[in-house]
A and B are shown apart, each in its own frame.
Chain A
Amino acid sequence: MERGRVALRVIPGSVEVSSEPAAPPSLELAFRKYSPYVAAVAMRLLGRDDDVDDVVQDVFLSAVKGLSQLRDPDAIKGWLATVTVRVARRKLRTRRIRSFLGFDQVPSYEEVASPGASPEHKAMLARVYAALDGLPVEQRIAWVLRFVEGEQLEDVARLTSCSLATAKRRISAAHQEMERILSDE
């Protein structure tokens, strides 16, 4: 079934210019095109590189049915972001349970920042992600999408499948808590 769609590979971007209705991308094609984006969103949401591979796999395997109904590249990206948030939420909840049971090692978050980042930025990001571990998962996700991912409020609401008012409330609550935690240090 997937083999019939291989032709898409030789005309990247054709979905925007073709006069013919574009075919939905295969799982393999979608993975090659969008996995860097999904990995980046997952890293920013989770703050741990060792969780990213699992999340990327889960996202594409979860998204495969939805992909078959999408043709617009922007819609595909948005759909994948929504699925990434859903998978990351599951991961964060699992992590919280493991932490409660003493199975999850507390990371230093020293590796959140890229190697070229300044010491100040590295320290800042490590403190932020350590503080995020203390927030409720829904608040954490909303706050990261708004302030780390740089999403608009409407997009935060869409990605987290909640109303705009709920998204605002979560972001506000998270922000107050983050300010309190970080100013105490």
Chain B
Amino acid sequence: MSELARKIEEARRQVRTDWSEERARTVERAMLRRRARRAATRVVLAAAAAVLLVVGAGSIVARSRDSGAAAPAQAFLAGIAAPSIRLADGTLAAPLDKATDLAVVETSPNRVVMSLARGRAAFDVTPNPSRAFVVLAGVVDVQVLGTRFTIESMQDQVKVAVQRGHVRVTWANGSSDLMAGQQGAFPPPVEAAQLPNAAPADSADGKRGAAGAASAPGQASGVPTEWRGLAGQGDFATAYDAMKRAGAAAVRDDPADLLLAADVARMSGHSSDAVVHLRALLSAHRSDPRASLAAFTLGRVLLDELGRPAEAAAAFADARRLAPGGALAQDALAREVEALSKAGDSASAHERALEYLRAYPDGRRARSVRKFGGVE
């Protein structure tokens, strides 16, 4: 044996292999999520192939006698525009355009909460009577049993269309049940006008106020030139330019407009402007149900895009204060730990990390919290 081989023989057993149970669990969960995504991708590809085959053959697809119920899965999935989310029970949530902002904010055996901050998404929820499935979309919540439906987040309303099953849409002052084949925009226009600081509800597509173009939801047509319409089409760079050209009065002092303006600024690469709009919302509309989301978004912008961790930590703390039991509370606390750590405040990060681990012992962000909070 050579001298090198002898030395290697001595040292080789010292190669580290710290593969803890916790690390294995984290990697296993990530692996299972990847497998689910692959399965969803296969479904989408199969659906796309099926659609192409049908179109190529010139076939006429027979429609169900009950046109409102049970649309074919292929048709339901064909419009998917971005990677979809598939939960362990097979539930599928899929963005329908590139501008859609769809996220899972809570998963537990008893409750799944997703948020649709912007755009359109389709949902195919596996029936499970013992679990609540809720989609937070703008000012409404959509509560679901096993069903298939789409949601579109519009300016002050949310459009819900049910293909199968039954959903309940709730908002601040009411609720409405939708059955298969039914659709609607919520809150109803009269109530949308009564929401705190809502602008006159002459239209739900954002073309109102100075532009003065009144049209009913879904009836807008033509190429939008106003920044809200451009944002609705996902053209954030042009929307930002249009917003700036329109001057200081372009953004109304109401939560929906401020949130949309912040999104336009953020998505077009003007994060500092997004901060201004989000802070304006938090300053003037703290009692609005969207204030917590605004604070959380502010934290993300400050931490991820502007590198201002101390301010980000304060924003995440604010998000929790505004909605202590809200769907974003867990994520806000975890990201507060990260922000405090990056701001160099190790003691506070550690303290918040312990708070997180007490409140969410099996929380999905436990690993990150332990890392940033210095908890072994």
* Complex A-B, nearest 6 residue pairs according to Cβ-Cβ distance, in ascending order: A117-B14, A114-B16, A39-B19, A40-B17, A57-B31, A121-B11
Q: Is B30 an interface residue (CB 8 A)?
A: yes
Interface segment among B1-9, B171-179, B196-204, B342-350: the answer is: B1-9
**B12 to A178, Cβ gap below 8 A?**
no
The interface size bin for chain B is 20 to 34
**Roughly how many angstroms separate A175 CA and B34 CA in the complex, as a whole number?**
38
Q: Is A154 an interface residue (CB 8 A)?
A: no
**A to B CB contacts below 8 Å, 26 in the list:** A31-B31, A32-B24, A35-B19, A35-B24, A35-B28, A39-B19, A39-B24, A40-B17, A40-B19, A53-B26, A53-B30, A56-B27, A112-B16, A113-B15, A114-B14, A114-B17, A116-B14, A125-B11, A125-B15, A128-B11, A147-B5, A148-B15, A150-B12, A175-B2, A175-B4, A179-B4
Known: A31-B28, A53-B30. A148 touches B2 (CB 8 A): no
Q: Is B35 an interface residue (CB 8 A)?
A: yes
Per-residue contact bits, chain A 135-176, to B (CB 8 Å; 1 contact, 0 not): 000000000000111100000000000000000000000010
Q: Is B10 an interface residue (CB 8 A)?
A: yes
Q: Is B376 an interface residue (CB 8 A)?
A: no
Q: Is A43 an interface residue (CB 8 A)?
A: yes
**Roughly how many angstroms separate A114 CA and B19 CA in the complex, as a whole number?**
12
Known: A53-B23, A124-B11, A178-B4. A115 touches B16 (CB 8 A): yes
Q: Is B22 an interface residue (CB 8 A)?
A: no
Q: Is A89 an interface residue (CB 8 A)?
A: no
Complex partner residue of B17 from A27, A36, A121, A128, CB under 8 angstroms: A36
**A53 to B27, Cβ gap below 8 A?**
yes
Complex partner residue of A114 from B18, B30, B34, CB under 8 angstroms: B18
Known: A31-B28, A36-B24, A57-B27. A124 touches B17 (CB 8 A): no
Known: A27-B35, A57-B34. A148 touches B8 (CB 8 A): yes
**B16 to A36, Cβ gap below 8 A?**
no
Q: Is A44 an interface residue (CB 8 A)?
A: yes
**A125 to B14, Cβ gap below 8 A?**
yes
Cβ-closest chain A residue relative to B30: A57
Cβ of B14 to closest chain A Cβ, rounded Å: 4
The interface size bin for chain A is 35 or more
**A112 to B15, Cβ gap below 8 A?**
yes
**A121 to B14, Cβ gap below 8 A?**
yes
**B16 to A111, Cβ gap below 8 A?**
yes
**Roughly how many angstroms separate A124 CA and B14 CA in the complex, as a whole number?**
10
How would you classify the secondary structure of chain A's contact residues: helix, strand, loop or mixed?
helix
**Roughly how many angstroms separate A32 CA and B24 CA in the complex, as a whole number?**
8
Known: A27-B35, A31-B28, A32-B28. A182 touches B14 (CB 8 A): no
Cβ-closest chain B residue relative to A182: B4
Q: Which of A14-71 contact B (CB under 8 A)?
A: 27-28, 31-32, 35-36, 39-40, 43-44, 49, 52-53, 56-57, 60-61, 64
**List of A residues within 8 angstroms of B34 by Cβ:** 57, 61
Q: Is A122 an interface residue (CB 8 A)?
A: yes
**Roughly how many angstroms separate A168 CA and B218 CA in the complex, as a whole number?**
71
**Roughly how many angstroms separate A52 CA and B23 CA in the complex, as a whole number?**
11
**List of A residues within 8 angstroms of B14 by Cβ:** 113-114, 116-118, 121-122, 125
**B31 to A114, Cβ gap below 8 A?**
no
**List of B residues within 8 angstroms of A57 by Cβ:** 27, 30-31, 34
Complex partner residue of A43 from B4, B16, B35, CB under 8 angstroms: B16
**List of B residues within 8 angstroms of A149 by Cβ:** 12
**A35 to B27, Cβ gap below 8 A?**
yes
Given contacts A128-B11, A148-B15, 13 further A-B contacts (CB under 8 A): A36-B24, A43-B15, A49-B16, A53-B27, A60-B31, A114-B16, A116-B14, A121-B10, A124-B8, A125-B15, A147-B5, A147-B8, A179-B2
**List of B residues within 8 angstroms of A121 by Cβ:** 10-11, 14
**Roughly how many angstroms separate A140 CA and B69 CA in the complex, as a whole number?**
60
Cβ of A97 to closest chain B Cβ, rounded Å: 23
Q: Which of B15, B28, B31 has the most CB of A within 10 A?
A: B15
**List of A residues within 8 angstroms of B17 by Cβ:** 36, 39-40, 43, 114
**List of B residues within 8 angstroms of A115 by Cβ:** 16
**List of A residues within 8 angstroms of B4 by Cβ:** 175, 178-179, 182
**Roughly how many angstroms separate A111 CA and B26 CA in the complex, as a whole number?**
21
Cβ-closest chain A residue relative to B17: A40
Cβ-closest chain A residue relative to B12: A148
Cβ of B326 to closest chain A Cβ, rounded Å: 31
**B28 to A28, Cβ gap below 8 A?**
yes
**Roughly how many angstroms separate A52 CA and B28 CA in the complex, as a whole number?**
13
**Roughly how many angstroms separate A111 CA and B30 CA in the complex, as a whole number?**
24
Q: Which of A61-84 contact B (CB under 8 A)?
A: 61, 64
Cβ of A139 to closest chain B Cβ, rounded Å: 15
**Roughly how many angstroms separate A113 CA and B16 CA in the complex, as a whole number?**
5
**List of A residues within 8 angstroms of B9 by Cβ:** 147
**List of A residues within 8 angstroms of B26 by Cβ:** 53
**List of B residues within 8 angstroms of A118 by Cβ:** 14
**List of B residues within 8 angstroms of A64 by Cβ:** 35
**Roughly how many angstroms separate A60 CA and B29 CA in the complex, as a whole number?**
12
Cβ-closest chain B residue relative to A120: B11
